[in-house]
């Protein structure tokens, strides 16, 4: 063997990543590498003149004499023997031993390789801790999933109960509104008849107030009936007929002037002819738009109703001056129970008027839009296509 190869082997032996020991059959150490000396805290060559037994703890020496020592002699090798060597300062260093018996020119020698268990034990502890934490996390996850499932079940049950109650409430609204409609109609007719024969101006004034209030109550009842019908899935029903639109709107405007005496209502029209619509629903729609303008508009300026009839259909618009509709209200303006203002006024209703208007327009295959600003006021536009 060349000097270079010898030096390489010596360097590899001394600086191997494990402890290496060569000992005689009687346990005296012939060679001990630098790695093991550094592990045990012995400088220089101080370990090479001693016995391997002196490095073992008392239990370790007994284990060597009764177990792995005889086994190494009999079968020629041992593997994964756990033992502890004493450090120079006295504490025990856990190691793992692999050994083989060699027969050479110098007689029997034992070649031992020792591996540190400290890092392995740290890794094992880390793995064990990680496994424990994973098991705890899994248990928490399972518990959270069970809690979530229970919460979802409770939420579903609560939602179903809320739906049932809401449907019941809407059915009650529909029944109550339907039952109120006939007596309110009778009150309105009776006050109109009595008003014709009223003996004094005061009596006629009071009967007129009763008639106006009854008419307003009728509109609210009709809106509530329609709202309940939509909410219960029946929608707004329409019955089409050919209607002379301009003549009908003129008549409705005359009636609205009586219903809203403080408002100046005018009708502008272009074009003429008939349109296939539900006459009563169209009157209800225009009445709700005018009522909205009377409630929120500036009554020092007129409310203008415009009718534009063409070959494609009709465009109905209702315009009023006054404060514009707030941008925050616009996205939900046509939703039920929505009002353009929180101010209280005798003309304001429960917030179903524009919702009903939208439903009537869509039932006719049309649509509603609006423009509102401080300069030009507020204009609602209803487009109704000519029926096929």
283-328 per-position pLDDT tens digit: 989 999 999 999 899 999 999 999 999 988 999 999 999 999 888 8
Domain boundary among 230, 252, 270: 230
Q: Which of 230, 264, 284 is the last residue of a domain?
A: 230
Percent of the chain with pLDDT over 90: 31
Domain boundary (65, 96, 116) is at 116
SS (H, E, C) the chain: CCHHHHHHHHHHHHCCCCEEEEEECCCEEEEECHHHHHHHCCCCCCCCCCEHHHHECHHHHHHHHHHHHHHHHHHCEEEEEEEEEECCCCCEEEEEEEEEEEEECCEEEEEEEEEECHHHHHHHHHHHHHHHHHHHHHHHHHHHHHHHHHHHHHHHHHHHHHHHHHHHHHHHHHHHHHHHHHHHHHHHHHHHHHHHCCCCHHHHHHHHHHHHHHHHHHHHHHHHHHHHHHHCCCCCCCCCEEEEHHHHHHHHHHHHHHHCCCCCEEEEEECCCEEEECHHHHHHHHHHHHHHHHHHCCCCCCEEEEEEEECCEEEEEEEECCCCCCCCCHHHCCCCCCCCCCCCCCCCCCCCHHHHHHHHHHHCCCEEEEEEECCCEEEEEEEEECCC
- Same-domain status, 274 and 303: yes
Q: Which domain holds residue 279?
A: 236-385
Say which CATH number the domain at 199 has. 1.10.287
Q: Over the stretch 143-160, which tens digit does the pLDDT of each residue have?
A: 999 999 999 989 888 888
Tens of pLDDT, residues 326-366? 888 888 888 876 655 545 444 445 577 888 899 899 999 99
Q: What is the pLDDT of residue 2?
A: 60
Q: What digits encode the pLDDT tens for the residues 27-77? A: 888 888 888 888 888 876 667 668 888 889 888 889 898 998 899 989 999
The reply to whether 240 and 381 lie within a common domain is: yes
Q: What value does the mean pLDDT take over residues 185-214?
A: 75
Whether residues 270 and 377 fall in one domain: yes
Q: Given a cut of 90, is residue 253 above it in pLDDT?
A: yes
Average pLDDT score over the chain: 83
Domain count, the chain: 3
């Amino acid at each position: 063997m060349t000097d270079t190869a010898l030096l390489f082997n010596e360097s590899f032996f001394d600086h191997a990543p494990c402890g290496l020991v060569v000992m005689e059959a009687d346990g005296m150490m012939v060679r001990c590498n630098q790695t093991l000396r550094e592990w045990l805290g012995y400088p220089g060559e101080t370990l090479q003149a001693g016995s391997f037994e002196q490095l073992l703890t008392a239990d370790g020496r007994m284990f060597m004499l009764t177990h792995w020592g005889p086994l190494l002699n009999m079968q020629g090798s041992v593997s994964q023997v756990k033992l502890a060597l004493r450090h120079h300062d006295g504490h025990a260093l856990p190691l793992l031993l692999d050994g083989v018996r060699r027969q050479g020119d110098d007689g029997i020698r034992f070649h031992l390789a020792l591996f540190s268990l400290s890092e392995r034990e740290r890794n094992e502890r880390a793995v064990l801790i990680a496994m424990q934490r994973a098991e705890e996390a899994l248990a928490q996850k399972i518990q959270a999933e069970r809690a979530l499932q229970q919460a979802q079940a409770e939420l579903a049950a609560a939602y179903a109960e809320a739906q049932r109650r809401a449907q019941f409430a809407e059915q009650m609204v529909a029944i109550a509104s339907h039952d109120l409609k006939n007596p309110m109609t009778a009150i309105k007719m009776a006050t109109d008849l009595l008003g014709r024969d009223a003996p004094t101006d005061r009596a006629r004034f009071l009967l007129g107030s009763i008639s106006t209030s009854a008419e307003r109550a009728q509109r609210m009842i009709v809106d509530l009936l329609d709202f309940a019908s939509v909410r219960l899935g029946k929608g707004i029903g329409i019955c089409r007929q050919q209607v002379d639109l301009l003549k009908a709107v003129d008549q409705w405007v005359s009636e609205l002037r009586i219903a809203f005496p403080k408002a100046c209502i005018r009708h502008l029209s272009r074009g003429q002819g008939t349109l296939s619509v539900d006459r009563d629903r169209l009157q209800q729609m225009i009445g709700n738009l005018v009522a909205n303008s009377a409630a929120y508009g500036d009554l020092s300026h007129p409310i203008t109703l415009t009718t534009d009839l063409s070959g494609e259909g009709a465009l109905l618009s209702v315009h009023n001056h006054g404060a514009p509709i707030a941008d925050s209200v616009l996205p939900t303006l046509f939703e039920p129970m929505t009002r353009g203002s929180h101010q209280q006024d005798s003309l304001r209703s429960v917030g179903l008027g524009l919702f009903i208007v939208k439903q009537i327009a869509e039932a006719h295959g049309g649509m509603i839009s609006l423009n509102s600003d401080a300069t030009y006021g507020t204009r609602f536009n209803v487009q109704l296509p000519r029926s096929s």
